[in-house]
């Protein structure tokens, strides 16, 4: 259980981890806090966008799409590894997921199957969207994967969490497949090593 970082603390945490950050518009005040609570925070969620092109991807994640207003995450991780900050606060990224998974994340234990959609995830997770088509063909450049590792580690380091607090959207919400292209076990291993 932790209160969310301030925008300044979030920026500092990312930069201290060596992340190259691009601040997009009024990201510090761009959120969905008027629609529901933000925090306490319990983890970091990783996604892929199923889009191509960094400018287009960042715009969608900032503004949203028909039926799903932005921001759709906090940071967009581009193919070149730069992280575009599009929002701070409650964001439309996690949707409804499994309370058993949330309990496991809080306890930092192995995750159970996500077979229920009974819990508001937008309240409890930082969210990062990765620019990738998610078709199993679109490559994940090393610079991008390194940035995924760094943002996850940055948030965990700030809150004193282990790699167990990093989950994929597909581990949270039934029916989701993202991120596709690497396993979350592999990513958690990299985060674990980075946090040593
Ligand atoms: Zn997702």
Mind giving me the DSSP string for 66-91?
TTEESPS-SEEE-TTS-EEE---SS-
Indicate the domain borders of the chain.
Answer: 7-195
CA of 118 to the centre of ligand 1 (A): 17
CA of 51 to the centre of ligand 1 (A): 12
CA of 172 to the centre of ligand 1 (A): 9
| pLDDT tens figures, 92-146 | 999 999 999 999 999 999 999 999 999 999 999 999 999 999 999 999 999 999 9
Percent of the chain past pLDDT 90, that is, above it, reads 99
CA of 96 to the centre of ligand 1 (A): 11
Nearest CA to 73 out of 151, 174, 181 is that of: 151
Query: What is this structure's pTM?
Result: 0.98
Residue 1 pLDDT more than 90? no
Mean pLDDT score of the chain: 98
What pLDDT, on a 0 to 100 scale, did the predictor assign at position 137? 96
CA of 47 to the centre of ligand 1 (A): 4
What pLDDT, on a 0 to 100 scale, did the predictor assign at position 102? 98
CA of 4 to the centre of ligand 1 (A): 20
The rounded distance, in Å, linking the Cα atoms of 161 and 195 is: 9
What pLDDT, on a 0 to 100 scale, did the predictor assign at position 99? 98
CA of 168 to the centre of ligand 1 (A): 8
CA of 8 to the centre of ligand 1 (A): 25
The predicted model gives 23-33 an average pLDDT of 98
User: In the CATH scheme, what is the code of domain 7-195?
Assistant: 3.40.80.10
């Amino acid at each position: 259980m932790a209160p969310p970082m301030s925008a300044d603390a979030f920026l500092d945490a990312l930069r201290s981890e060596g992340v190259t950050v691009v601040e997009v518009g009024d990201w510090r005040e761009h959120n969905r806090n008027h629609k529901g609570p933000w925090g306490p925070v319990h983890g970091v969620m990783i996604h892929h966008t199923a889009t191509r092109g960094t400018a287009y991807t960042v715009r969608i994640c900032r503004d949203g799409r028909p039926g799903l207003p932005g921001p759709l995450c906090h940071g967009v991780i581009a193919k070149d590894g730069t992280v575009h900050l599009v929002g701070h606060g409650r964001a439309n990224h996690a949707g409804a997921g499994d309370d058993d998974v949330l309990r496991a994340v809080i306890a930092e234990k192995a995750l159970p199957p996500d077979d229920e959609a009974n819990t508001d995830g937008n309240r409890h997770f930082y969210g990062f969207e990765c620019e990738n088509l998610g078709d199993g063909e679109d490559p994940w450049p090393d610079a991008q994967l390194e940035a995924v590792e760094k943002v996850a580690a940055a948030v965990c380091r700030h809150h004193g969490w282990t790699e167990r607090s990093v989950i994929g959207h597909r581990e949270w919400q039934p029916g989701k497949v993202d991120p596709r292209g690497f396993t979350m076990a592999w990513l958690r291993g990299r985060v674990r090593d980075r946090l040593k």
